[in-house]
Amino acid sequence: MSTTGRGLHGRVLDTLGPEITAGDHPPGSVLRTDELAQRFDVSRSVMREVVRVLESMHLVESRRRVGVTVLPAHEWNVYDPQVIRWRLAGADRPRQLRSLTVLRSAIEPVAAGLAARNATAEQCAELTECALGMVAHSRGHQLEGYLFHDMAFHRVVLAASGNEMFARLGDVVAEVLAGRTHHDVMFEDPDPAAVTLHVQLAEAVRARDAARAERLTREITEGALQELDILAP
């Protein structure tokens, strides 16, 4: 579930990356490659590769005669799935979850509208199947089963939009949904209204009703915003 392969490289990255995104090393901090290599008990080569990857995520900047400088958060590649995962696992998880939910509220309605135009017959079938799965698991504390179909549902909508930028957010949305179920208060069964909206959305897409699909999705995401006490625009 978590992440990178299983080499030394990956292990070091999975330690140092979260440390940085968690603010453990504040912006402006200077790390030295040699020291890090010693600390993690790896060779300089491995450490350099890790630093290069962190640099490509704009988490750090490496300069001669200075060292590896930690960059301020507004420089980070916050769309990098790895960075998102690290941040969701860290302390500012709530803030992160809010940002992503607002992002969802902007993207998903438009994506649903496009999906109503572009979805293949197969995708329509998958959508109704997912919606039915959600209904089937909506009562009796079958949270995991519900979550599974919910994630799949939104992933299909984003993919069916035909826009690669939207499609690529499938993982992010899944991550948000999973986070809501697992960490936040969600002991009770899901809101029946939300379940109904998903069923209707599947119908709207199948019926090629773009406007209705967009409106229904807007209702869904507004529900998600309200759960986090974010006032609806």
Binding site for its own copies (CB under 8 A): 9, 45, 48-49, 52-53, 56-57, 73-74, 77-82, 99-100, 102-103, 105-107, 109-111, 113-114, 163-168, 210-211, 214, 233
Q: Which does 139 bind (CB under 5 to 8 A by kind): its own copies, DNA, none?
A: none
A 10 A CB-CB count for 188 gives: 8
d(CA 138, CA 26): 44
d(CA 137, CA 132): 9
Q: Shortest approach of its own copies to residue 114 CB, angstroms?
A: 7
Q: Shortest approach of DNA to residue 75 CB, angstroms?
A: 17
Specify the residue, 77 or 120, whose C-beta has the smaller distance to its own copies. 77
Interaction site with DNA (CB under 7 A): 5, 7-9, 31-34, 41-46, 48-49, 51, 62-68
Establish how many alpha carbons lie within 13 A of residue 26's alpha carbon, considering only the half-sphere containing its beta carbon: 0
Q: Which does 57 bind (CB under 5 to 8 A by kind): its own copies, DNA, none?
A: its own copies
Specify the residue, 171 or 189, whose C-beta has the smaller distance to its own copies. 171
Q: Tokens 């409106």 correspond to what residue? A: 215
Which pair of structure tokens corresponds to residue 229? 């006490």
Q: Which does 129 bind (CB under 5 to 8 A by kind): DNA, its own copies, none?
A: none
Specify the residue, 45 or 120, whose C-beta has the smaller distance to its own copies. 45
d(CA 218, CA 193): 13
d(CA 219, CA 193): 10
* Residues sharing a CB contact under 8 Å with residue 11, sequence separation 6 or more, in sequence order: none
SS3 143: helix
Q: Which does 8 bind (CB under 5 to 8 A by kind): its own copies, DNA, none?
A: DNA
